[in-house]
Amino acid sequence: MPMNMWIISQSCEGDNSMNPIQKLRGSLERAPVIWKGDYPYFIHSITDGVPRLEPEVLQAVIDLVVERVDWQKIDAIVGIEAMGLPICAPLALAVNKPLIIVRKRSYGLEGEVKIDQSTGYSKGEMYINDIKDGERVFIMEDVISTGGTMRAVLKGLANTKATASVVMTVVEKGEGMAQLKSEFSNTNFESLVALHMDGAKVVIHD
């Protein structure tokens, strides 16, 4: 069996009566919530790395992403440290595309692109390496809320000769996605699940 078919051919060992989007939505609705001051945060294995990431949830995410993208029009996948790694590695295997990781440290390689990162929570620097001229890239994110990290990555890519064809996030929360769509009109933005917090409850949009 070809390697790039391995991920797709595996069945989830959870409740097989549920389709992938139901599995993802259910896992988010069951996510624990913590309070930081007056603001509630849901904690999920896809967006935070804790609690443990169950294979059927990861498989559901991969299945949903694979079916929503025309991969013949994509040359490479870009994932963002840190939570982009567990999503993008199996995705790259599933669709047989090279994987580029946006890192939070510099390696000093020729052509390295420095990104000034600013989000609602932190500031710092990130670095992209090995982007080739003319490549059409698919960017995978775990969650977009303020949009600060993705905005920085897209601006960094604008300094290369690659094209950000599609940006997809597992979770869309807040106004960040809408703002990114208005700023980067040549990029297609999609989310698997949109949600908001109602007190300590995760509310998923239809």
pLDDT digits (tens, 9 = 90+) for 143-201: 999 999 999 999 999 999 999 999 999 999 999 999 999 999 999 999 999 999 999 99
What is the pLDDT, as a whole number, of residue 123?
A: 75
Instruction: Report residue 115's pLDDT band, with 50, 70 and 90 as the boundaries.
Output: very high
Instruction: Report residue 94's pLDDT band, with 50, 70 and 90 as the boundaries.
Output: very high
The answer, yes or no, to whether residue 120 has pLDDT greater than 70, is no
Closest by CA position to 97, among listed 89, 86, 105, 87: 89
The SS3 of residue 190 is strand
Distance CA 94, CA 196 (A): 30
CATH class of 54-193: alpha beta
> What number is the average pLDDT over the span 1-30?
68
Cα separation of the two ends of the chain: 37
Instruction: Report the b/e string of 4-29 with b at 16+ CB within 10 A.
Output: eeebeeeebebeeeeebeebbbbbbe
Residues sharing a CB contact under 8 Å with residue 113, sequence separation 6 or more, in sequence order: 127, 128, 129, 131, 156, 157, 159, 160
What is the pLDDT, as a whole number, of residue 118?
A: 64
Instruction: Report residue 119's pLDDT band, with 50, 70 and 90 as the boundaries.
Output: low
> What number is the average pLDDT over the span 14-20?
78
Domain boundaries, the chain: 54-193
How open is the CA angle 195-200-203, to the nearest 5 degrees? Answer: 25
8 Å CB contact between 53 and 46:
yes
